[in-house]
């Protein structure tokens, strides 16, 4: 049996935000068979808005479909992970026979392939709802183009979610309208959509955010999966505008959610609002 233990600590700061590894232990234990050997990873996340990747940190764990990823090298056909809230321990990453879903409350969508980026996990996003409003996003906004551009990926190594420019602007304006708050310029902090909270104003509730994937209407149950205070009087949308047309369902959205990838069936499943140490 092969067991991997990865311990990642996750202090949060407004200037850094990417997964980083503080300790990696690898050891073997005798077993009758190594078929579908389970691998356990304990994880949390530190973050970096500037790149969304682990620049300057000790390492990145590849979970894509490329030949150098841990998934490919282990030869497993499924894996599952759960990212805890920022600053919290006890995340999980499970491979092979240990990567199971223990609840019936699960949403699934097909994994798409892009010959131009074969290692990435593309999915079909068909729309977005903010509060009770289904946004009027043009039909082809999230389509994967024939030249390999566009589309949406599930980004296990991308901390901040990103949306194609047209969609992002609609989401940004709808949050402004429903929050009934003025925009605040926090471009110096890296955020693309922030709102100013007047002195004495009480923010009693925030709009729900729903991603409409092919076959899965995924509501983000926790507001800290898409909103955060940059200052005590500034609330920021934790979604960035895409620089190249590629939309990314990033780590912020995935906090406290079991993500399950079945590579044989080519399906990714979501189990929202879970305790990571219980999966």
The pLDDT of residue 187: 77
pLDDT tens per residue, range 123-164: 999 999 999 999 999 999 999 999 999 999 999 888 899 999
pLDDT digits (tens, 9 = 90+) for 114-134: 999 999 999 999 999 999 999
What gap in Å lies between CA 64 and CA 53, rounded to an integer? 14
28 band by pLDDT with thresholds 50, 70 and 90? very low
State residue 25's pLDDT score: 35
Q: Is the pLDDT of residue 54 over 70?
A: no
Lowest mean pLDDT among 16-20, 73-77, 102-106: 16-20
What ranges do the domains of the chain cover?
A: 2-274
Quick one: how far is CA 121 from the chain centroid? 12
pLDDT at position 59 is 59
- pTM beyond 0.85, yes or no: no
Residue 100 pLDDT:
93
Tell me the pLDDT tens digit for each residue of 175-202.
999 999 999 988 788 889 999 999 888 8
Torsion of the alpha carbons at 84, 52, 73 and 32, rounded to the nearest 10: -10
Measure Cα distances from 255 to 32, 87, 90 in Å.
36, 11, 12
pLDDT band at 26 (very low <50, low <70, confident <90, very high): very low
Using the predicted structure, report yes or no on whether residue 41 has a pLDDT greater than 70.
Answer: no
- In degrees and rounded to multiples of 5, residue 69 shows phi and psi of -70, 155
Q: Is the pLDDT of residue 79 over 50?
A: yes
**Residue 188: count of CB within 10 angstroms of its CB:** 6
251 compared with 230, residue with greater pLDDT: 251
Residue 266 has pLDDT above 90, yes or no: yes
162-175: string of b/e by CB count within 10 Å (b at 16+)? bbbebbbebbbebb
What pLDDT band is residue 57 in, cutting at 50, 70 and 90? low
Task: Report the candidate in 57, 79, 67 with the shortest Cα–Cα distance to residue 159.
Answer: 57
CATH number of the structural domain 2-274: 2.40.70.10
Supply the pLDDT for residue 58. 54
Residue 103: how many CB atoms within 10 A of its CB?
A: 9
Task: Give me the chain's average pLDDT, please.
Answer: 81
Cα 97 from Cα 108, distance rounded (Å): 19
Q: What are phi and psi of 172, to 5 degrees?
A: -60, -50
Q: Among positive and negative, which fits the CA dihedral 68, 267, 89, 207?
A: positive
Give the list of residues 6+ apart from residue 98 with CB closer than 8 angstroms, or none. 38, 39, 40
Q: Which residue has the tokens 């007047």?
A: 198
pLDDT at 272: 93
Give the strand order in the sheet containing 209-213. 133-134, 125-130, 209-213, 216-220
Residue 203: per-residue pLDDT:
83
């Amino acid at each position: 049996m092969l067991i991997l233990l990865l311990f990642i600590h996750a202090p949060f700061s407004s200037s850094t935000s990417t997964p980083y590894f503080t300790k990696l232990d690898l050891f073997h234990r005798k077993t009758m068979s190594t078929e579908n050997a389970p691998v356990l990873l304990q994880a949390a996340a530190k973050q970096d808005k500037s790149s969304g990747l682990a620049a300057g940190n000790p390492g990145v764990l590849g979970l894509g479909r490329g030949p150098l990823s841990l998934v490919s090298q282990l030869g497993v056909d499924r894996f599952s992970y759960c990212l805890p809230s920022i600053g919290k321990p006890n995340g999980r990453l499970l491979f092979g026979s240990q990567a199971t879903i223990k609840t019936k409350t699960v949403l699934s969508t097909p994994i798409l392939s892009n010959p131009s980026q074969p290692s990435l996990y593309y999915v079909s996003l068909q729309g977005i709802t903010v509060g009770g409003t289904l946004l009027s996003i043009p039909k082809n906004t999230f389509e994967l183009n024939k030249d390999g551009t566009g589309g949406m990926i599930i980004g296990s190594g991308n901390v901040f979610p990103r949306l194609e420019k047209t969609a992002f602007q609609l989401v940004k304006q709808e949050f402004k309208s429903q929050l009934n708050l003025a925009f605040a310029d926090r471009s110096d902090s890296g955020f693309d959509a922030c709102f100013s909270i007047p002195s004495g104003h009480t923010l009693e509730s925030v709009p729900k955010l729903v991603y409409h994937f092919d076959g899965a209407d995924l509501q983000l149950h926790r507001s800290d999966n898409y909103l955060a205070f940059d200052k005590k009087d500034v609330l920021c949308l934790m979604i960035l505008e895409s620089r190249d047309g590629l939309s990314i369902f990033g780590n912020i959205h995935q906090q406290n959610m079991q993500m399950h990838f079945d590579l044989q069936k080519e399906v990714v499943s979501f189990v929202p609002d879970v305790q990571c140490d219980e999966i």
